[in-house]
Structure formats: structure tokens, C-alpha cells
Amino acid sequence: MNSFYFCNLCIFVYISGLFIWTRGVLGLICHCDYHCPDDHVNFTCQTNYKCFKTRQFEEGTKNIVERHGCIGNREGEGMFQCRSEKTKFKTPMQLQCCDDQDICNWHLTPTIPQQHIDEYHFNLEKTNGEAPTNNHAQGLALAISISICAMILFIIVAYMGFRCAQIKAKHKSQKKRRFVIPHGTAPVDSMHELLLDGNHSSGTGSGKPQMTQRTIAHQLTFLEEIGRGRFAIVYKTKWKDQFFATKVVRSFDEASWKNELEIFEKCNLSHENVLGYVGGDVLESTPGQEVQRLIISSYHEFGTLHRFLLNHSYDVNVLFRLVYTALSGIVHLHRDFLGSQGKPKLAHRNITSKNIYVKDDLQCCIGDFGLAVAQPEDGPLNLRQNPRLPTSRYMPPDMLADLSRIEMQSFDTFQRGDMYSFGLCLWEMILRYEVKATPEEYSLPYTEYLKKNPNEPEYTEMRRLVTVEKKRCQLPQRYHEDQHSRFLMRLINGCWHEQPTMRVTALRMRASLEKYLQERSKSEGSGESTSSVGTAASLGTASTGLS
């Protein structure tokens, strides 16, 4: 048994020795394509040491070539070559050896160090007279350049922004605005500081207020928005310790803004029942924002008549105070005064409860003259400069019937149209009158008939209601049973006549109202004269009769 194992061992040792001898004598088979022996077959060679693969630049170019072949171990030369993988050559080269299997050098991947490649490229370009393109240095230079450019650009932009802000502030502080403040229309006593002369108009309309140039618009502080419409936004503003109402007209309604300024400045509107005018201004805008066109007027805490009626009801004294003072404002507009500083007749053309304001003493004043027209001395009216139409809800039937002919209407027709519109405002005021201590809920005219858009009815819908169906606003029966509201309803009917020439004038309507109030005073034994009608003494103070 032991002899058997010994025989097998001997055979194994013999075969192993034979293999080693054969490998050493016959050699390792390698892929060969560079300096191959003359007897090579199919791009192969045999060696008793190792196979190799190199990557090397062609001398004088940037082309890289790969070479395969055999390395012998004659006197240790092959061992020295295979250990020189990190040797730096004049022309960068990398050699890699193997002996693990035949054709092992086919899959070798020798890599030339990047530093050797950069240096070779630099020297090559220098030799050829070209600008060096060291990739690493170039990338670093590019990064530094971009950083410097970005920093310079930031400094330039910051400096330009700073200079623009300086120029804008300087321009704002130094520019002269067109700002007109008429005597007698200052809404508060402290506005006297802005006037050259302390004399004021009596408010009778007998003279045209003097005007002086001022620049206070840039000193206004905007506090809060108090009203908004399609054509303007109204803000509560402050100058020193006084409040004002500042209307900012939208850019597409510039014609109305110009018209309102002209009416205020060229016509004598100095009257206690006309909104106090302070001035107009244009604030230059920054790029991308619209120009702000301002109209600055007196501020009244109650706001518009529309807003006042929404929040308050009242007794008969307050009712007559509101009606009489609003009517007095319209009378002042419709009348003319002769003289060198006289006043022409005016037609408001847009009387609504949102264009009448309630003062702290419960007197009304007329405002918003964007559509107003003055009676021309000779020739027809010119409405082409302002194509905007009045509020559809308050337009009289004769104008709703043919909107295209509005500009062809006579001046008297426009004044009679004001009376139709005022009749609707009077109807609104009666609604909040407390008959038997109970008022009606506030409502805008014709709301009960409007189905599509009761807040902003279209002109076609209002034409159908007023001209075709001949609808008119109605009051509950209990108002017909009250003598005061019954009298006011007779005045309203005089305003709503189909034919403009048949409508009552403002002056005649006020005379009728004064007569009624005088008779009422006598019947109640008060003995108040007509001249006191509309004052706090005859119609109640601001705190009397208001709920």
C-alpha cells in the first residue's frame, strides 16, 4: 500500500517538473504588434519571462499609440524594464507587464500620469511656437477670471443702483410740481399756512378764488384705502396733523382727471356744499409702473352718501338736512355768476350716491367732476376728449335710448339729466328715513329689477328697464302715508319725467323745498326763517336724529 502512494507521488513530481521545464523552454505566448520576432505567427510571440503593453505619445505629436510584445529576462533586463512603470520619459510612456496567462497583455490598461501629459503638451506647444494650453492651469485661470468678472459686475450694478436712488431722491426733492391750492377751498384751518393771502371767499360764488403754486403732494402720507372703483382708488392721507382724501386716477382715465382739474381750477366751485378742492398732482412713476395722477380734496369721516346710507338711518330732521344741502350743491353748479371772476353754468353728468359726500355736520357736498361740462360761451359742447360714459344705473331714459347721440345733446339736457339722477339719490335717502321709527333696508336704485348683474348693470339692461319697460323705483306703502316722504316723492316724480324739458330744475326744486320747510316750521311753532333751512339750528345737529 505504501508502495502505491509513493509511485503516485513520483509521477506527480515528474509531471510538474516537465511542465515547468516546458514553460521555461517553450515560453509564454503574448500578443505582439511591435518589434515582433521574424518567426512570429498571427501577431504572437513567445517569451520565457513576461508580456507587455505600452501607451506612448508619438514623438512631436499629441497622438497616443498602444504597443504589445514580449520581454525576455536576459541578464535581468526584463525585470528592470517591468519595474520602471513610474519612470519619467522624454516622450511620456507607461509600460505594464503580465505573465498570468497567454495573451494576457491584450487586456492591460497602462495609464500615463496626467502631470506628465500636461508637461509634455506645454513643452510641445512651446517648441512649436503656440500658446500653451495647460488644461489644469487653464481651468484655474478661467475660474479666477469668472470670479473677478462677477465681482466687478456686482460692484457696477450696486453702484448704478445707488446712483439711481440718489438721483431719484434728489429729483423728487427738487422738482417743481404743478400743485394749485385755491383760497376758500382749504378743507381745514391749518391749510392757511399754504396760502399767500388769508382772505377767503364767502362761498356765495360771487368771485373766483385766487390760486397759488405749492408742492405738498410729496409730503402726503398714505394711510388707508377708503374707496375703490373702476376708474380710481381713494386713500385717506395725512399732511402734518390734518387728513385729506386723495384720489388716484387710473392711467386709462387720464381724460377725466384732466377734466376734473380744469373744472376745479377754472370754475368757481367755492361753496360749502361742493367738495373742498386742495390740488392736483402727477407723481412720476418708476419703470414698469403707471403714472399716478392725484386729486387731493377735503376728507370727511362719513365718506360717500352711499356708505352713509348703508350704515345709518335717521329721523325727518336729518333727512331734510341731507336733501336740502345736496340740492344746494347742485344749484350752485347749475347757476352762473357774471363778472370778471364769474362762474359758468355746469352740468355734473354723473350724480350718484357715490359722488355725494356727507360732512361731519351732516351736510352733503357734491364731488367727482370727471365728466362735468361747462356751458360754452358760443358753439356746441365738445365731449370727444372724454369718451367715458356716466354710470348706467343713474342715466336718464333719453340718454339710455341712444348712447351714440350723447355728445350731440344740448347743455340744458345734461342739467335736466342731473335732476333725474338726483331723484334716484333722493329715493335712496328716503329709504333710510325712519317712518314710525322703522327704516327700510338700504338698496341701490333698480336692484329689485336687475337679475344679471345688480351691482354693475350693463347699459343694455338699464335701457330695457327704463326706456322699454318704463320701470321706476318704488317705495313701500307706509312712506306714502307719511306727509314728509309723500312731499319728497312728489319732487322725485318731477325729476323722473320722460321728457327732459318737463323735468324740474334744481333752483325750482329747492324753492319748493324751502317753502315746505317754512310752512312746517310755522305749523310746529318754531318760527325759524327760510334762511336757516339746512343749518344745524333748524334741522338738528350732527348728533341729533341719527341712528
Residue 395 to residue 118: CA distance in whole angstroms: 88
Query: Is residue 265's pLDDT more than 60?
Result: yes
- The answer to whether 463 touches 471, Cβ cutoff 8 Å, is no
Together in a domain, 515 and 368? yes
Single out the residue in 123, 154, 183 at which a domain terminates. 123
Residue 5 to residue 9: CA distance in whole angstroms: 6
196: in domain: no
Q: Name the domain count of the chain.
A: 3
186: in domain: no
Residue 289, Cβ neighbours under 10 Å: how many?
A: 9
Single out the residue in 63, 98, 123 at which a domain terminates. 123
Q: What value does the mean pLDDT take over residues 328-341?
A: 89
Reported confidence tier of residue 243, pLDDT bands at 50, 70, 90 = very high
Together in a domain, 314 and 425? yes
Whichever domain contains 225, its CATH number is 3.30.200.20
Together in a domain, 330 and 471? yes
Query: Is residue 204's pLDDT more than 60?
Result: no
**pLDDT per residue as tens digits for the range 494-533:** 999 989 999 999 999 999 999 999 999 888 765 444 434 4
Together in a domain, 455 and 331? yes
Together in a domain, 504 and 389? yes
Whichever domain contains 346, its CATH number is 1.10.510.10
177: in domain: no
Together in a domain, 221 and 360? no
Return the top range by mean pLDDT from 68-77, 119-128, 201-210, 438-447.
Answer: 438-447
**pLDDT per residue as tens digits for the range 186-200:** 333 333 333 323 333
534: in domain: no
Together in a domain, 236 and 327? no
65: in domain: yes
For residue 495, the enclosing domain spans 305-523
498: in domain: yes
Stated pTM of the model: 0.60
Q: What is the pLDDT of residue 333?
A: 95
The per-residue pLDDT of the chain, averaged, comes to 80
Single out the residue in 103, 123, 143 at which a domain terminates. 123
Residue 432 to residue 547: CA distance in whole angstroms: 10
Q: State the pairing for strand pair 44-47/28-31.
A: antiparallel
Residue 389 to residue 391: CA distance in whole angstroms: 7
Helix (H) or strand (E) holding 421: helix 411-431
